[in-house]
Amino acid sequence: MSNKETGTLRTFRPLLTRDYRLLFAAVALEVFGTGLWTIVMVFQVIELNDSPLALSAVATGLSLGLFSCSVLGGIIADRFSKRKILVIVQGITALVMATTAALSMTGMIELWHIGLASFFMGAGSAFFYPAYSAYLPQVLPPEQLLAANGLEGAVRPSMGQGLGPAVGGLVVGAFFPAIGAVIVAVSYLLAFAILLFLQPQKEPSSATDPAEKSSLLNDLRSGVKYVAGTRWLFWTLIFGSVLALIVQGPVEVLLPFLARDRFDDAEATFGFLLAAYGIGGAVGSLVVSSMKLPRRYLTFMLLCWGGGTLPLAVLGLASQFWVMLGALFIVGAATGAGVVIWGTLLQRLVPLEMLGRVASLDFFVSIAFMPVSVAIAGPLSLVMPVETIFILAGVVPALIAVLAIAAGKMRSTEEQHRLDA
């Protein structure tokens, strides 16, 4: 058997497990529906109130739901059955989206309905994904977690940033937003129906013994204490936060201005550049999932994230479209590869009874710095050339990654916990 065949089999081996096939299908439908909703929401708002202010207010609902429930979602995941959480959360979200679609079809929908639906979608994700991350090790053996995370890492950009918005644009353009809302509701309802067929799994003791449950606040404190006292985890979260702060704003806010200043068709150029980033993420995820976990897994992951931003400096130095396209593909691939390894390390190194809280804290810290980065990118461009900002965004994370590797004593953890066997 060739190495390529071995890698391919390794990538798709989790799909041989019945419950993982169900999970994978449900997540793919959920991600597709969320991607489609981003288009439906925009044009539904424009149909009701053609105002950027109205769209901004409604779009905030999704981020608000994610941010406000992210920590609580992890605590709940560690206290109760993960399967039940997945089913209940998906059922509630499906009901909300079905109600929204019905209101849209009957012409009774208002702006606050759309904002509330977006909030529930964001809150649902905040509860769903910590439970999903903690549930996966109960479904698959440890050696298949890397491949499973790689498959999920590939399906997110392809379905959430590719197929979902593409279908949304076609449907809304050919018909009207209400039809798109119906497709979103159907995808969520199908995901809910699939999750009903998951078999109950044995839960960690903290999720099955209500008599021994502490308060939510104590659970949160213990989660924070665990993260702060686990050196590799603490320094990786610090690095991830700084990475989001440095990179997110330039890519989301300043890249469109680079496209406008350098190319005639700025809108199409910007779309292709983002597509290259998303495709790179999918490819990087699949490539890593076909490999064995590296022996120096923490070092490899941080170098993927830190070194993977170096091509951003190319955006500041080069103006050729194909060069910018390639640079963002590499950034996306390195980012996707690092994310797959990160999710796998959480599932293999963090105790199962603590995994939901750690996953949600990771999620909370990551999204907390994204809006800050977006907010400061614009003002920063007034005092510093955009090209210089991209050069710094490419170089600085690489330096911080080296610092995190040393300060987190990553080599010591890698020696103590051999995961490459």
Per-residue model confidence as pLDDT tens for the chain (421 residues): 444 445 567 778 888 889 999 999 999 999 888 888 877 887 787 788 766 667 667 777 777 888 888 888 888 888 888 899 999 999 999 999 999 999 988 888 888 888 898 899 889 988 998 888 888 888 888 888 888 888 888 888 777 766 777 777 777 667 778 888 898 999 999 999 999 999 876 665 555 454 455 677 788 888 889 988 899 999 999 999 899 889 887 887 788 778 778 887 766 677 678 778 888 888 888 888 888 888 899 999 999 999 999 999 998 888 888 998 899 999 989 998 998 899 889 888 888 888 888 888 887 777 777 777 877 887 888 888 888 999 999 999 999 999 999 999 999 998 888 875 5
Tokens of 339: 């994310």
pLDDT at 74 (0 to 100): 84
Task: Return the ∠ at Cα 396 (arms to 334 and 336), rounded to 5°.
Answer: 15
pLDDT at 351 (0 to 100): 87
Give pTM, 2 decimals: 0.76
pLDDT at 393 (0 to 100): 92
pLDDT at 36 (0 to 100): 84
CATH class assigned to 219-416: mainly alpha
pLDDT at 5 (0 to 100): 47
pLDDT at 208 (0 to 100): 47
pLDDT at 266 (0 to 100): 67
Domains 3-199 and 219-416 share a fold: yes
For CA atoms 402, 404, 409, 414, give the dihedral sign. Answer: negative
Question: Superfamily for 3-199?
Answer: MFS general substrate transporter like domains (1.20.1250.20)
Parse the chain into domains and list their residue ranges: 3-199, 219-416
